[in-house]
Amino acid sequence: MKGRNPTRRKLGRVCTTICAKTVGEMAEKAASAFAMGTDLVEFRLDLLQRPSLDAAGELAHLARKSVFTLRPKDEGGGFKGSQRERLALISGLSELRPLYIDIELRAAESNAGWLGGLPRTSHKIVSWHDLAETPGFSVMKQVRNRAGSLGDIAKIVTMARTGEDNLRVLRLHEEDPRNLIAFCMGEAGMVSRLVSLQMGAPIIYASLPNEPVAPGQLSVTAVTRLKKMWEAGR
C-alpha cells in the first residue's frame, strides 16, 4: 500500500577499526568514521607507535562508543611487550570504561583470575583467530563454547580459502546466534561478514574507505548503507 512504512528490523552495530601511529591520528580517524555513520570504533591500540595508558587516556571521551583492542604480535597484532606488560596495560585500559574490550581466548583461559578481576563496566569480547584457514565445524563450536563461557561475546574469525568456508562459519550463527561474532577474513570470506550481521551478530567490523585493516574488510560507507537498506526491509 502506498505510504505504508516498511517493517523495520534492528540489526547489530557497525564498528570501524581505527589504526594509526598516534592517538591524535586515531581521534581524527574516529571522528571521520562517526561522520560516515559508524556506531562504534575499534581502537587498535597495539598498533600505536608507543602504546601506553597515558596515550589511551586521550581517547577516554570516546570510550563508551569504542572497542579497545591490544592484540599481541603472536596473534597477528602489533604489541611487542611481554604478556605480563600487556595484561597490566589492559587492566589500566579497562579503567577508562570502554564499551567493549577485546581479549584473546588464550589469554582469558590462561589468566582466569585476572579476567575475573576486570571491571564489569566493559563488555568482554573473547576472541579467537585462525589466520591460516577455516577449521572444521566441531573445532569452531568447541572454541565458541569456551569463549562464550568466559566473556559476554564470543568472537571467531578464520581465513576463508573457499566459498564453503563461509558456510561453515555461518553455521555457528545458524545453530545459536546469541552473543556471537563469527565470520571469515579474506576476499573469499567477504560474504560471511555481511551475512553474519543478518543472522544476528551484535557487531560487524568495517574500515575507513581505502584503509582495510584485515583482508576482505568492507568500508564503513558500504556497510552502513547496506544496513539501512536491510533494516528498512528493502
Burial class for 113, CB neighbours closer than 10 Å (0-12, 13-18, 19+) = exposed
**127: alpha, beta or left, given left = phi > 0 and alpha = psi -120 to 50?**
beta
Nearest to 69 by CA among 133, 157, 136: 157
Nearest to 96 by CA among 75, 77, 119, 74: 119
Q: Tell me the three cell numbers of residue 69.
A: 583492542
- 173 contacts 200 by C-beta, under 8 angstroms: yes
Q: Which of these is catalytic: 29, 65, 124, 129?
A: 129
- Give the Cα separation of 71 and 77 in Å (integer): 4
Q: Which of these is catalytic: 155, 173, 227, 228?
A: 155
- Give the Cα separation of 93 and 83 in Å (integer): 15
Half-sphere exposure for 32 (CA within 13 Å, toward CB)? 16
- Give the Cα separation of 172 and 152 in Å (integer): 16
Max distance between CA atoms of the chain, in angstroms, equals: 63
- 186 contacts 154 by C-beta, under 8 angstroms: no
Catalytic-residue membership of 129: yes
> Active-site positions?
129, 155
